[in-house]
Structure 1
Amino acid sequence: MNELIKVTIKNDQQVVSARDLHSGLNLKTRFSKWVSQNFNEFVENTDFTSVTTVTVVNNGARKPIQDYAITVDMAKQLSMMSHTERGKQYRLYFIQLEAKWNDPSEIVKRGYGILMDENIHLRMENKKMQMPALLGSAVSGSKASVNVGTFAKVLRQKGIEIGQNRLFDWLRTNGYLISDGTRHNVPTQKSMELKIMEVRESVVTTNHGSKTRFTPLITGKGQQYFVSKFLQSFK
């Protein structure tokens, strides 16, 4: 069946644009007058609803215009009321649409689709509700300090998609690590005062001599502190 007009689903009901139907029927009466002459035969919010669409004017600007989302049954009746050959063609098209829509196999298919959507939504809600508990249990009672990479792995195992590099970037952006200079990635004064981060110093010997390496660590208190920050995105 060739598509004569775009059909969308709204509140489990097939609807079409009144403007699209008016244009498709090749009516000479302007749209607003056609609406005032015919829509009083139907019930607003049952047979049709008022909507706003946009049209592109000559200068390329987008201008809002009045339109209506009308049911296929209403569109079928409006087509018949046009008393034109084009109207007969559209009426037959809408009759075929209704027949397909009400076919038992199509009803079962729609019902299955709704059920699948509800299951997906339920799983997402359950995951959202479980995530705070999962993250909280991952660090509850933790006393040992861990490096940023290890903490990123814990978060990732519990469903937070963040790697070591992204976590480093987040810590720098939010003022927990120094972002530049010779002390790059060293905990800031704020982190040290809050006792959520500490630094491990080690001496590394190379062919060019010895140098001190600073490794930022997240304390047990810090792990719980940062987890609470991530949990905010689940509220």
Structure 2
Amino acid sequence: MNNLVIMKDQQAVTSSLQVAETFDKSHKHVLKAIDNLKEGVAENWADLFYEDTYIHPQNRQPYRVIYMSRDGFTLLAMGFTGKKALKFKMRYIEAFNKMEDQIKTGGFKVPSTMAEALRLAADQQEQLELMKPKAIFADSVATSHTTILVGDLAKIIKGNGVDTGARRLFQWMRDNGYLIKRKGADYNSPTQKSMEMGLFKIKESSHVNGDGVTVVTKTPKVTGKGQQYFVNKFLADQQLKIL
């Protein structure tokens, strides 16, 4: 769900899942907020929102999702406040504008000569080749049982074109609620939100210190799902900076 806005039935829309991820909200809370709007816009509901289902990648069960037009998103986002929320709203507006322009124009100039057609085909193939490593990475790790250290994840993210390092990634995870930031025994441990999302596992180990006391240490390790989640999130944020 890297794209803020997608094309569905020849219309630029976004989904409740994408809104929840972008604004860092629980999906069920986003769905509830949309449901609360229904009474006030009953006559225009079908023009603003469209209910559907998606298959959850973990348990393969169908879950509720709501797609919304630009106007539907605008109504929903009115309740999101703060500087960070305002920044995301502006990016959504830009994304809607770009998608709607692509729908109107077809998204590209129709080649008028053989040379232009060959150049267009070459450009499209180049884009496919650039995207291929990331697609293979995402598909291969999504169901992987291999866990890695946060420092190793930083290397993967950097290898996908995002400038970061282990220390900065730890700090980002603490600041964004994925790891516990308060000092203490649980410092740098996954938060409840992270564990429920299946992003981390905890590796416990013990050793005897110089005083003969057994010390238990807990190390957060990123799951296959977590690797896919964080790489896609950083790539999406980088794409937003370009827009």
Q: Assess same fold via TM > 0.5.
A: no
TM-score of the superposition, structure 1-length normalised?
0.42
User: Which of these two proteins has the greater Rg computed from alpha carbons?
Assistant: 1
Higher relative contact order (CA 8 A, sep 6+): 2
TM-score of the superposition, structure 2-length normalised?
0.41
